[in-house]
A and B are shown apart, each in its own frame.
Chain A
Amino acid sequence: MAAVAGRTYPAVQFEIDADRVAAFAKAIGADPADGVPPTFAAVYSLGVTVPHLFADEEAAVDFARLLHAEQEFEWERHPRAGETVTSRGRVASDSSRRGMRFVSFEADTSDSNGAPVCRSRTLFVIRS
């Protein structure tokens, strides 16, 4: 395994589709009339940035031993259906202790004017 703290990944654009938002809202028991559910960030932020980490051969994250241990989202505002947002992921820290590897992954999402929308912080634990 390689420690890849500080690594950044390319920006990814995502168009927030109204039908997908409505289906997502329904799946988590929310009212689709209430707009984009806060945790739709799992799609517009995590969903587009985490694949870069998993595909990074030097990061060598073993998917089968991966646990999503902690998740935090912080919003400046919630995006609207129809908007296109841009997210960038980075490895904030990467350390090992007692046979476990801890990868802290962060992603910042901004709107088409470059204004911040959401910051995501994820802790992955990889069992060895």
Chain B
Amino acid sequence: MTERRITFTREQIAEYAEVSGDHNPIHLDDEFARSVGLPGLIAHGMLQMGLLATVAAEAAGGPGRLRRLSVRFAGMVVPGDTVTFRAEPAGDRRLELSALNQKGEAVLTKAMAEYEK
């Protein structure tokens, strides 16, 4: 099993906005996020998926081996949340992936990877 525990910060979410080019204000501006019914700014789903992919790549023996990666964005992640990203072998060239917050809630579901040897 491969695992990483990450506590999300505003700085990290802002950095992901910068490097990914996704400047949607729901990830950058608390006031805007609240105006569209969110509790405040939230992390990009693709940041969560990226962190999960890093763990999956480690479990697969390198990022170049990943052939498929899929997730459902099931829960919001806000600054201060601690998420445990995990990859476990699930048969031939498959990994079962999970991302649980500090309350034990899955923020990503239906998460899996396939890789080549």
Chain A residues engaging chain B, CB cutoff 8 angstroms: 20, 23-24, 26-30, 34-39, 42-43, 46-47, 63-65, 67-75, 78, 121
| Smallest CB separation, B49 vs chain A (Å) | 6
Check if A64 sits within 8 Å of B51, measured CB to CB: no
User: How many pairs, one residue from A and one from B, have CB atoms within 8 Å of each other in the complex?
Assistant: 98
Beyond known contacts A26-B19, A29-B54, A75-B68: 18 more, CB 8 A cutoff: A23-B18, A27-B16, A28-B51, A28-B53, A29-B6, A30-B53, A34-B62, A37-B63, A39-B50, A42-B20, A42-B22, A47-B21, A70-B110, A71-B70, A73-B68, A73-B70, A74-B67, A75-B67
Whether A47 contacts B64 by the Cβ 8 Å rule is no
Residue contacts A-B, CB under 8 angstroms, 24 given: A20-B19, A23-B18, A24-B19, A24-B50, A27-B16, A27-B50, A28-B47, A28-B54, A29-B6, A30-B53, A34-B63, A35-B63, A39-B46, A39-B49, A42-B20, A42-B50, A43-B21, A46-B46, A47-B21, A65-B36, A71-B45, A75-B66, A78-B63, A121-B70
Interface pair A72/B54, CB less than 8 Å apart:
no
Beta-carbon contact of A27 and B54 below 8 Å? no
Select which of B16, B21, B45, B64 is within 8 A of A78 by beta carbon: B64
Q: Are B70 and A24 in contact (CB under 8 A)?
A: no
Q: Are B110 and A30 neighbours in the complex by a CB distance under 8 Å?
A: no
Q: From residue 1 to 51 of chain B, which have CB atoms closer than 8 A to chain A?
A: 4, 6, 12, 15-16, 18-22, 24, 36, 45-47, 49-51
Say yes or no: A27 contacts B73, CB within 8 Å: no
Binding site for A on B (CB under 8 A): 4, 6, 12, 15-16, 18-22, 24, 36, 45-47, 49-51, 53-54, 57, 62-64, 66-73, 110
In angstroms, Cα B73 to Cα A63, docked, is 17
Task: Output the least CB separation between A106 and chain B (Å).
Answer: 13
Q: Give which listed residue, B4, B21, B46, B50, contacts A68 with CB less than 8 A.
A: B46
Cβ-neighbour of B71 out of A37, A71, A75 (below 8 A):
A71
Which residue of A27, A46, A72, A78 is within 8 Å of B70 (Cβ)? A72
Name which residue of chain A comes closest to B109, CB basis. Answer: A70
